[in-house]
Amino acid sequence: MKRLAVLLSGRGSNFEAIADRIKEGKLLARIEVVVSNVDAAPALEKARQRGLNTVVLNSQELGKEKFEQTLEKTLKDSKVDLICLAGFMKILSPSFIHKFPNQILNIHPSILPAFPGLDSQKQALDKGVKFSGCTVHFVNEGIDTGPIVLQAVVPVFESDDEQSLSNRILAEEHQLYVKAIDLVLRDKIRIKNGRVVRSSSQK
């Protein structure tokens, strides 16, 4: 059984979607550890109720270096195959990322490369785009610039506010992230020239 770590900072709705699909037997994996860099992340209680192993590493108190050292140890001790960022609001350093090559996934609420960084839904509304969506990508050294695994598109309506657009995108995120994790865990994709391609050899 492949072993996942989920890193989060808040309510963890994508974490719940992943945990639900695992429980239903639709995603063959085990969440080995849930790590929050925020003490009061509401997702922590949800994880505990599910009987999952939770770790809190307060990134503000620890400082970047100590935080990443402890996080690295936690992840290596848990022998995780894949690290899923799910509303994880801390930027990981390049040196940390290099320690887990092609092992860190993130989900972002826009059709990247449009609207990277924070407040993507607001950025989209301010720009007046007619479509937005979400992207699952491998994490590289840039902000939301890594190889794209999957994307989904939603319409943007003139009546939308940040909340309504965020909700519409989030519903897609919950589907998309599980699909992407499944592709990675089953070795269905690989990275070639900085892009994700389907594996030609079946494993």
Instruction: Give yes or no for residue 89 binding a copy of itself (CB under 8 A).
Output: no
Q: Which stretch binds a copy of itself (CB under 8 A): 27-35, 63-71, 78-86, 188-196?
A: 188-196
CB nearer to a copy of itself: give 30 or 188.
188
Helices and strands, number each (H, E), in the chain: 7, 9
**Which region, judged by CB under 8 A, interacts with a copy of itself, from 3-11, 21-29, 101-109, 190-198?**
190-198
Backbone angles phi, psi at 102, to 5 degrees: 55, 30
- Position among 118, 195, 201, 202 found at the interface with a copy of itself (CB under 8 A): 195
Regarding 197 and contact with a copy of itself (CB under 8 A), the answer is yes
Whole-angstrom Cα distance, residue 51 to residue 153? 34
Instruction: By CB under 8 A, tell whether 1 contacts a copy of itself.
Output: no
| Gyration radius of the chain's alpha carbons | 16
Residues marked as catalytic: 108
Q: 119: which 2 tokens?
A: 């407040």
CB 153 within 8 A of CB 175: no
Q: Under the criterion CB under 8 A, does residue 143 sit at the interface with a copy of itself?
A: no
85, 12 Cβ separation under 8 angstroms = no
Size of the site for a copy of itself (CB under 8 A): 23
Binding of a copy of itself by 112 (CB under 8 A): yes
**Residue whose C-alpha is closest to residue 13's, from 172, 180, 160:** 172
Closest distance between a copy of itself and the C-beta of residue 123, in Å? 9
Question: Is residue 164 a contact residue for a copy of itself (CB under 8 A)?
Answer: no
Give the CB-side neighbour count of residue 16, counting CA atoms within 13 A: 12
- Least distance to a copy of itself, CB of residue 35, Å: 28
Cα(97)–Cα(141) distance, integer angstroms: 7
129 binds a copy of itself (CB under 8 A): yes
- Please give the structure tokens belonging to residue 56: 């809190």
CB 113 within 8 A of CB 85: no
For residue 107, state whether it binds a copy of itself (rule: CB under 8 A). Answer: no
Using the contact rule CB under 8 A, the part of the chain among 36-44, 75-83, 100-108, 149-157 near a copy of itself is 149-157
Binding site for a copy of itself (CB under 8 A): 111-115, 126-131, 133, 147-148, 150-151, 153, 158, 194-198
